[in-house]
Amino acid sequence: MADVKSLIGTKNKKGQTFTDTWTMMHEAPRTPSFYTGSEVIKEALRRASCDVMIAYPITPQSEAAALIGELFAEGYIGDYFRGESEFAVMSQCAGAAFGGARVFTTTAGPGTMRAMENFPMWAGARLPIQMIVTCRGINSPLSIQPDTIEIAYLLNTGMLVWHAETAQDFFDWILKGYMVSEEPDVHLPLALCCDGFFVTHTKDVVNLTPADMCLPPYDPYRSPVPCMDMECPPVRMMRDPFIMKSNYISYATHASWQQEIWAAVERSRKHSIKWLNGLIDTENTDAEIVIVASGTAVSQSREAIRLLEDEGVRCGLVKVKTLRPWPEEEIRDATKNAKHIFVPEFNVIGWLAKEIRATVPNPQRVHAGPHVCGGMTMPPEIIVQEIKTVLGMKTFSMAGRGS
């Protein structure tokens, strides 16, 4: 059963010291390193005390998944293998998590969709698996380019869903993510999303924690449901299985179980606020124009705001870090002064704008756009153009963008 003595300060077989996560993330010295997003995922995993990682090739996450294989070969991961499809991989992850392991996997686009049946099951079974989603297009004709539409499908699975902007976010959030996910009052899977290629395949300076420090290991006996390892008594779970019953007790059982999953998502709020320093970041939200964005759309918005400032237009910014839990109060508060709320997105349907419209009073203030999709980049100029058009300012058409 649970170890009564703390492992903090002791060493693992690779000589890394199990370190209090708060100390490791906030007080330990950081080394600036120039890495691709994929390499950053590997470096985070090196420090994550991960028991099992299961991989499958799909662009743009293949490199990260393969690099973690190298970590396994070096002895940093307990076990690692290539599954046969994303559906199987997510079930293999579930099996490992049921068995009490800290589990990690990565996927993208069509892989996320193929595996989809697993995600509500993960949440329902309270498995704190971490899955990196390097978003890409899912449409036909085939696309491998960045597009965040798959996040829309993850929002209602009962998983925690975070959207990283930069490789630095990624590095920190992979490690902090386990801390939130594994809290006994949360104990839910985390989909840690980023925009494929823009984050995975570009190089950036990332401040890394010391490589000789790692997270404390996962303790499966802090789980709110029994770990399936035959180390605690195998009590009979129920007198009648609920699946086939058409009666009030069975409906009530399923209903309360679902409600408990979403209550656990809510309870993750306080932990996420602590570890991420708030569910959103804000800049100049006293302005009449506020951009609300997530992922790399935040970076592009920052640049657009600088361009607008040159023309005398003052604009605030809200960076949404967690999509589940949804920062409802925070967004409402940050946009209370805004006459116009712009939501630039890397997908055609505008799922973030829909969420925001359902959140803020006077939702006619929300302008869903600009949207790019299918792999298109989002030059800051099109955000500027969108805002100026709404404000009735003169704009110039941009070549090659269909205007």
Identify the helix (H) or strand (E) that includes residue 191: strand 190-195
Axis-axis angle for helices 167-181, 37-46 (nearest 10): 40
If the CB atoms of residues 185 and 229 are measured against other proteins, the closer one turns out to be 229
Task: Using the rule CB under 8 A, give the single segment among 170-178, 206-214, 226-234, 248-256 that binds other proteins.
Answer: 226-234
Size of the site for other proteins (CB under 8 A): 45
The residue from 54, 190, 343, 384 that contacts other proteins (CB under 8 A) is 54
- Find the shortest distance in angstroms from Cβ 223 to other proteins: 13
If the CB atoms of residues 110 and 370 are measured against other proteins, the closer one turns out to be 110
Question: How many CA atoms within 13 Å lie on the side-chain side of 259?
Answer: 6
Q: Can you tell me whether residue 276 is helix, strand or coil? A: helix
Pairing, β 289-293 against β 340-345 = parallel
Cα separation, 128 vs 98, in Å, equals 10
Residues found in the chain: 403
Tokens of 286: 């006293």
Sites for other proteins among residues 183-212 (CB under 8 A): none
Is residue 52 a contact residue for other proteins (CB under 8 A)? Answer: yes
Task: Using the rule CB under 8 A, give the single segment among 86-94, 256-264, 277-285, 337-345 that binds other proteins.
Answer: 86-94
Is residue 78 a contact residue for other proteins (CB under 8 A)? Answer: yes
Please name the residues in contact with 20: beta carbons below 8 A apart, sequence gap of 6 or more.
8, 216
Task: Using the rule CB under 8 A, give the single segment among 84-92, 202-210, 254-262, 278-286 that binds other proteins.
Answer: 84-92
Please name the residues in contact with 43: beta carbons below 8 A apart, sequence gap of 6 or more.
33, 35, 171, 206, 208, 211
Is residue 3 a contact residue for other proteins (CB under 8 A)? Answer: no
The residue from 2, 15, 84, 311 that contacts other proteins (CB under 8 A) is 84
Is residue 234 a contact residue for other proteins (CB under 8 A)? Answer: yes
Instruction: Give the per-residue contact string, 108-127, with other proteins (x = CB under 8 A; - = no).
Output: ---------xx--x---x--
- Find the shortest distance in angstroms from Cβ 59 to other proteins: 22
Task: Using the rule CB under 8 A, give the single segment among 68-76, 90-98, 191-199, 341-349 that binds other proteins.
Answer: 90-98
Is residue 69 a contact residue for other proteins (CB under 8 A)? Answer: no
- Find the shortest distance in angstroms from Cβ 340 to other proteins: 45
Is residue 68 a contact residue for other proteins (CB under 8 A)? Answer: no
Q: Can you tell me whether residue 375 is helix, strand or coil? A: coil
User: Could you say which DSSP state residue 289 is in?
Assistant: E
Q: What are phi and psi of 180, to 5 degrees?
A: -75, -50
Is residue 374 a contact residue for other proteins (CB under 8 A)? Answer: no
If the CB atoms of residues 129 and 186 are measured against other proteins, the closer one turns out to be 129
User: Could you say which DSSP state residue 305 is in?
Assistant: H
Asked if residues 129 and 89 have their Cβ atoms less than 8 Å apart, the reply is no
Cα separation, 382 vs 403, in Å, equals 11
Is residue 215 a contact residue for other proteins (CB under 8 A)? Answer: no
Task: Using the rule CB under 8 A, give the single segment among 8-16, 174-182, 238-246, 302-310 that binds other proteins.
Answer: 238-246
Q: How far is CA 89 from CA 156, 158, 362, 396, in A?
A: 21, 19, 44, 49
Asked if residues 126 and 257 have their Cβ atoms less than 8 Å apart, the reply is no
Asked if residues 61 and 196 have their Cβ atoms less than 8 Å apart, the reply is yes
Is residue 96 a contact residue for other proteins (CB under 8 A)? Answer: yes
If the CB atoms of residues 92 and 134 are measured against other proteins, the closer one turns out to be 92
Cα separation, 182 vs 129, in Å, equals 9
Tokens of 89: 């991989």
Closest by alpha carbon to 211, among 17, 65, 8? 17
The residue from 22, 81, 251, 257 that contacts other proteins (CB under 8 A) is 81
If the CB atoms of residues 144 and 228 are measured against other proteins, the closer one turns out to be 228
The residue from 243, 311, 396, 399 that contacts other proteins (CB under 8 A) is 243
Point out which residues bind other proteins (CB under 8 A). Answer: 51-52, 54, 78-79, 81, 83-85, 87-89, 91-101, 103, 117-118, 121, 125, 226, 228-241, 243-244
